[in-house]
Structure 1
Amino acid sequence: MEGYRFYNLSEQSMDFNTVFLRIYEFMREDPLHAYRLSIGTDSQTHHDSTRFITAIHLHRIGKGAWGCLRNQTVHRKMESLREKIHLETYFSQEIAYLFTPEHLGLLMELLQPYKEAKFSMEIHLDIGNYGLTKEFILDMTNRVKAMGLVAKIKPDAYAAFSYANRYTK
């Protein structure tokens, strides 16, 4: 977990332990809500490289959100859409695996006393039923489901196609 660096508008270099602490603190501030933890990756091909941004987005449904990003660059221009979609999914899965059962247990303990509180975790894929990415839906969603997580595609995959996309340019 040491090699993973995240940032947002408030903090420029967070390790995963700091990210988890921020998520825990955000939920502890108001544990009486439903929370959705979404992880999604988008990419943009540039002249001689491809930039991948993975977003971690915690939505306090109806009452705000906290998020952070991870930037990775592959130092070659990726022209294969299949390769880009596979890597986007892999990078999202890689971050999702950082949330160990112990981490998730701590979040559940925090919410457990409140019957109104709910928690879900999703991976948002930058693919959809329209356009060139539709052929990847079954393969990519099955990879996420095999992890025991919910897979969301466009238009419900906002962590990938909206939040992460904003920072790939």
Structure 2
Amino acid sequence: MNNDGLNATFQNLSQKEMSFEQVFHYIVQYMKKDVKGNYRLIFGTDSQVHANHTIFITGIVIQRERKGAWACIRKVTIPRKMMNLHERISYETTLTEEVLSLFTEERKNQLINIVLPHIYKGASFTIEGHIDIGSGSRNKTRIFVNEMVARMESLGLEPKIKPDAFVASSYANRYTKK
């Protein structure tokens, strides 16, 4: 365990083995580049079952709408094939909740305070939880939508499901194949 409260290291294309403190620092620095921006702090997890294990990737993305993003992932490997869909979707949501828990009220307020003086000039900040499930009639995960959405809402996140859950279904998904 590290001082983040859970054993978590993060990485992205340019950096490996980042602590949560480093991740938070990068998010703050990214937001300070444009204090009048429209920011979305987004969390989402996806999984992939492999021959002898299941990989879970949780993405953290700070997006400045129409002006780019900074992102990183946390990888968790479970040493078995996790074939039960409900168990896997539930664990994806749990991992998203774990990473979100690192963003204490104090840290969230620190991010909000970056844009707060500029909200009347159009600045904004929202926090979203992206869930890799869909409500379409052919989607096997649709029976879990209400449960997982309620879990995200209980944490104060704005839940997004497919097709709007791009952090889980696209960004994190890319890294589950490896």
TM range (shorter): over 0.9
> Take 1:165 and 1:28, find their aligned partners in 2: how far apart are those partners?
29
- Counterpart of 2:153 (choices 145, 158, 168) is 145
Q: Which residue of 2 aligns with 1:100?
A: 104
**Structure 1: gaps spanning 5 or more residues:** none
Matching of residues 10-25 of structure 1 within 5 Å: 10-25=14-29
Matching of residues 20-99 of structure 1 within 5 Å: 20-99=24-103
> Take 2:146 and 2:110, find their aligned partners in 1: how far apart are those partners?
32
1:98 is displaced (CA, Å) by 0.8
Residue 121 of structure 1 pairs with residue 121 of structure 2: no
Aligned with 1:78: secondary structure? coil
Provide the alpha-carbon RMSD of the alignment: 0.8
What per-residue deviation string (whole Å, max 9, x for no partner) do you get for residues 114-167 of structure 1?
122100001100000121000000011011111121111000100000000000
Of all paired residues, the percent bearing the same amino acid is 45
Residue 159 of structure 1 pairs with residue 167 of structure 2: yes
* Structure 1 consecutive aligned stretches of length 4 or more whose deviation exceeds 3 Å: none
> Take 1:42 and 1:107, find their aligned partners in 2: how far apart are those partners?
26
Aligned with 2:174: secondary structure? helix
Amino acid in structure 2 at the alignment position of 1:126:
D
Aligned length: 169
Q: Which residue of 1 aligns with 2:142?
A: 134
1:32 is displaced (CA, Å) by 1.1
What per-residue deviation string (whole Å, max 9, x for no partner) do you get for residues 97-127 of structure 1?
1111110111111112212210000110000
1:59 is displaced (CA, Å) by 0.6
> Take 1:30 and 1:54, find their aligned partners in 2: how far apart are those partners?
26
1:14 is displaced (CA, Å) by 0.5
Q: TM-score, normalised by structure 2?
A: 0.93
Amino acid in structure 2 at the alignment position of 1:160:
A
**Structure 2: gaps spanning 5 or more residues:** none
1:31 is displaced (CA, Å) by 1.1
> Take 2:49 and 2:135, find their aligned partners in 1: how far apart are those partners?
22
Q: TM-score, normalised by structure 1?
A: 0.98
